[in-house]
Structure 1
Amino acid sequence: MLAKANHVLLLSLTITFIFTIAFAFEPSPLQDFCIADSTSSALVNGKVCKDPMLTQANDFFFSGLHLPGNTSNFLGSRVTPVNVAQIPGLNTLGISMVRIDYAPWGLNAPHTHPRATEILTVLEGSLQVGFVTSNPENRLISKVLQKGDVFVFPIGLVHFQRNIGHGNAVALAALSSQNPGVISIANAVFGSNPPIASDILTNAFQVDKNVVERLQTIF
């Protein structure tokens, strides 16, 4: 009986260990910090660490999120990122953030973050937000947010935000990666380099070839 109990315990621990590895998108650091060395050409999964003795406060500092982003574009929104590119000290720490500014009826168009879950807080204005679940349901989960409200977009799922007010809106979002990445759906599909063959997109979207080619010139 004791041997059987030990076997069950060992099996449980093994399964827990496997799942822990599977869900560890960014491993825990093995030192206090690993300041990204922007001068290194070495290719690693992340950034090479610079000599810790050269660490300074500015390696962990960014200034500028109090400044409104320029929303004078066709979407009427602007994302100001604060990831490892802006703060080298974020390297290996598995977190970053963005400020998002929206003009009246401005849109942060459908996109995904392939390496991060996002948690968004509305600082000013009203936002309609939503994400779409994976195949085969493709169910839209959507809600209207007011100042102070918080909403989560699960990792990898297509999501969006739209300002539904007549004034400017501002949101702050944290992401569970030092470099979450962004795949803008329209840009990826119609603006790839080289372009996806128009007949493929015509068939996929069930639209006329002229529509596809026009969209490809826009993006």
Structure 2
Amino acid sequence: MTKLFTCILTVALLALASPLASAHDPSPLQDFCVAVDNPNSAVFVNGKFCKDPKLTTVDDFIFMGLDVPRNTLNQLGSNVTLVNVDMFPGLNTLGIALARVDYAPYGLNPPHIHPRATELLTVIEGTLLVGFVTSNPDNQLFTKVLNKGDIFVFPMGLIHFQFNIGETNAVAFSSLDSQNPGLITIANATFGSNPPINPYVLAKAFQLDKSVINYLQQKF
């Protein structure tokens, strides 16, 4: 009886732990679930209402316009166009998203993380210095110079970046294994939170003078 109870308890704990340990989108239980903002729809999946499959058309499965260069006239010299479920309803429940990244010469896609997705980056034009940092305690940097046609993977949840080291514009496309991968830009989140993080906390964490922290918080 004791062995049987132990076995049942173990199975129950594993069943409870498995969804908590999985960070990927759940597998769909239907062919597709095109998202619509219609509360009268019968099915609500992944935070979206599903269009009646009988009303679905081929246009629900196409997104156009990623061939157009984006404006990179900003402080970072980069522009990320994310195509997730909010922009492309046909992605709902399919566990994938896409991004076009444009870089001006020496443009930077700054250190950031995607909490819910691994990213696969393909360089279309230009030369990029890319890298990611492993988790504590090693914090090892893996970095590489990529050229046209090269592909690089950024593991889920790790800080990563891309920097155009060329004198011409660069373009890359990223595929992410979540319909809503999320984005946390490290500098913005740290120094531009709302409300601001107590500057004494950041001063101690970064071993900087409080005046420097105040300056950075004003910048962001």
TM surpasses 0.5? yes
Distance 1:43 1:215 in 2: 42
Equivalent residue letter for 1:27 = P
Specify the alignment match of 2:54 in structure 1: 53
Distance 1:73 1:181 in 2: 22
Does the CA-based 8 Å contact 1:46-1:91 persist in structure 2?
Answer: no
3-state SS in 1 of match to 2:111: strand
3-state SS in 2 of match to 1:138: coil
Cα deviation, residue 48, structure 1? 2.4
Specify the alignment match of 1:66 in structure 2: 67
Specify the alignment match of 1:31 in structure 2: 30
**1:154-187 Cα distance to aligned partner (Å, 9 max, x none):** 0000000000000000001100000001000000
Specify the alignment match of 1:167 in structure 2: 168
Equivalent residue letter for 1:144 = V
Specify the alignment match of 1:80 in structure 2: 81
The answer for unaligned runs of 5 or more in structure 2 is 1-6
- Note the 1:1-219 alignment, pairs <5 A: 21=19, 22-23=21-22, 25-40=24-39, 45-219=46-220
- Normalised to the residue count of structure 2, the TM-score between the two structures is 0.87
**1:139-158 Cα distance to aligned partner (Å, 9 max, x none):** 00000001100000000000
Aligned sequence identity (%): 62
Quick check: 62-71 or 129-138, which moved more? Answer: 62-71
Distance 2:91 2:152 in 1: 23
Does the CA-based 8 Å contact 2:100-2:173 persist in structure 1?
Answer: yes
Does the CA-based 8 Å contact 1:71-1:101 persist in structure 2?
Answer: yes
Distance 1:91 1:104, change over 3 A: same
Does the CA-based 8 Å contact 2:38-2:49 persist in structure 1?
Answer: no
Does the CA-based 8 Å contact 2:71-2:79 persist in structure 1?
Answer: yes
Cα deviation, residue 75, structure 1? 0.2
**1:85-111 Cα distance to aligned partner (Å, 9 max, x none):** 111010010001100000000000000
Pairwise CA RMSD: 2.4
Distance 2:37 2:77 in 1: 32
Cα deviation, residue 20, structure 1? 7.0
- Normalised to the residue count of structure 1, the TM-score between the two structures is 0.88
Distance 1:175 1:57 in 2: 23
The answer for unaligned runs of 5 or more in structure 1 is 1-9
Does the CA-based 8 Å contact 2:46-2:93 persist in structure 1?
Answer: no
